[in-house]
Amino acid sequence: MAQIDDLPPLRDVIARHQLMAKKSLGQNFLLDLNLTARIARAGGDLAGVTVVEVGPGPGGLTRALLACGAERVVAVERDERCLPALAEIAARYPGRLDVHAADALTADWPALLAGVGGPVRIVANLPYNVATPLLVGWLETEPWPPWFESMTLMFQKEVAERIVAGAGDDAYGRLGVLAGWRSEAQIVFDVPPSAFVPPPKVTSSIVHLRPRPLPLACRTADLERTAQAAFGQRRKMLRQSLKGLRPDAAAWVEACGLRPEMRAEEVPVEGFVRLANSLGG
Ligand code: SAM
C-alpha cells in the first residue's frame, strides 16, 4: 500500500477506536489508500476546491481528498463513534477539515458551506441505504445551477447503471430521466466487493455527474410525475400508462412528437420533458 500521509494505517485506526462496521449505517469501509486516492482523483484537480464528503467513517477517503490537495473538506457523518478518528485527521491538516455530526439526508448544504468561497464538489463513498435519496435530493436542488460543480459518488453497480442509462437501455427508468435531464453522468470505474471491509454482496461503481448548466426548462415535480406514471407500467404503451395523468393520453403523447405505441423505455429525456411541460393541472 502506498503511503499517502503519516497518519496510522486505517486498520489500526478502526481497531483503536473500535469502529466495528454497522450494517444499519451502510458501513463498508475502504482501507486501501491507493483506491481512495483513485476515487479522489476521479473528482478532478482538487486544488482550490472545497469537497463535501458524506459519511467519512474512519476517514480513508477523507485522507485521500486532503492528500490530493483539496483546499477544504466539509464532511457530514452520522456515526458519532467516528468523530475522534476524524479529529486526528483534522489535527494533521489544520483548518482544512470540518466535520459535522449530522444526518446528510436532512443537511442544509448551503448553510454548512456558508463562508466557503470557490468551487465545491461532492465526493463520497455513500452509505448504500441512503445513496439514491441523497442523489435525488442533489439533482432536485433549487435554484439550478446548483452549489456544486460535480459529484463523484460510489453506488451499487446496479444503481450506477440506472443513473447513467438512457432511452433503449434496460436500466433506463425514473432515475435515468432525472439524472439525464440535469446532468451528464458516467461510470468511471467499478470497485469489487473485496475492496471493502466488510465486503458487500455486490460490485460497486464510481459515478461522475456534471450538472448541465442549462437543462431543458421543466418543473421537477411534473417530470417526476410523468416518468413515474410511464415507468410504473413500463411494459405498457404510453397511451395506456399515461391515462391516469390525462384521459386524452394518446392525443397528448402525439402532440409531444411521440408515438402513443411507444413504451417508457423508448422515450428520451427530451420526450419526457415535453410531456411534463404539457401535463397541465
Ligand atoms: N467514507 C468511508 C470509507 O470510504 O471507508 C465510509 C463509507 S461507508 C460506505 C458510509 C458512511 O456513511 C459510514 O461512515 C456511515 O456511518 C455514514 N452514514 C450512514 N448514513 C448516514 C447519513 N444519513 N448521514 C451521514 N452519514 C451517514
CA of 91 to the centre of ligand 1 (A): 21
> Could you tell me the CA-to-CA distances from 59 to 88, 256, 269 in Å, in that order?
10, 49, 38
Is 248 one of the annotated binding-site residues?
no
Q: 235 and 161 in one domain?
A: no
Residue 91, domain member (yes or no) = yes
Examine the fold and report which residue of 211, 228, 249 is the final residue of a domain before the chain moves on: 211
Cell numbers at residue 146, please? 446548483
CATH code for the domain in which residue 158 is found = 3.40.50.150
Region of residue 154 (phi > 0: left; psi between -120 and 50: alpha; otherwise: beta) = beta
Q: 262 and 129 in one domain?
A: no
Residue 115, domain member (yes or no) = yes
N- to C-terminal Cα separation, the chain: 59
Residue 5, domain member (yes or no) = no
Separation of alpha carbons 131 and 209, rounded Å: 14
* pLDDT tens figures, 173-206: 999 999 999 999 999 999 999 999 999 999 999 9
Q: 123 and 88 in one domain?
A: yes
Q: 166 and 106 in one domain?
A: yes
Q: What is the pLDDT of residue 281?
A: 65
Q: 26 and 51 in one domain?
A: yes
DSSP secondary-structure letter at 217? P
User: Is the confidence at residue 280, as pLDDT, over 90?
Assistant: no
Residue 109, domain member (yes or no) = yes
* pLDDT tens figures, 8-37: 999 999 999 999 999 999 999 999 989 999
pTM: predicted TM-score of the whole model, two decimal places? 0.97
Examine the fold and report which residue of 211, 229, 256 is the final residue of a domain before the chain moves on: 211
Q: 244 and 129 in one domain?
A: no
CA of 276 to the centre of ligand 1 (A): 35
Residue 237, domain member (yes or no) = yes
The candidate with the shortest Cα–Cα distance to 53, out of 141, 140, 112, 5, is: 112
Which pLDDT band, with edges at 50, 70 and 90, does 258 fall under? very high
CA of 230 to the centre of ligand 1 (A): 33
User: Is the confidence at residue 2, as pLDDT, over 80?
Assistant: no
Instruction: Kindly report the backbone phi and psi dihedral angles of residue 50, in degrees, each rounded to the nearest multiple of 5, phi listed first.
Output: -95, 130
Is 129 one of the annotated binding-site residues?
no
User: Domain of 70?
Assistant: 10-211
From 54, 106, 126, 128, give the residue whose CB has the most ligand 1 atoms within 8 Å, as the site to mutate: 54
* pLDDT tens figures, 52-106: 999 999 999 999 999 999 999 999 999 999 999 999 999 999 999 999 999 999 9
Domain count across the chain: 2
Separation of alpha carbons 272 and 13, rounded Å: 49
Separation of alpha carbons 26 and 24, rounded Å: 6
The candidate with the shortest Cα–Cα distance to 61, out of 23, 28, 33, is: 33
Residue 3, domain member (yes or no) = no
User: Is the confidence at residue 130, as pLDDT, over 90?
Assistant: yes
Q: 61 and 38 in one domain?
A: yes
Q: 272 and 167 in one domain?
A: no
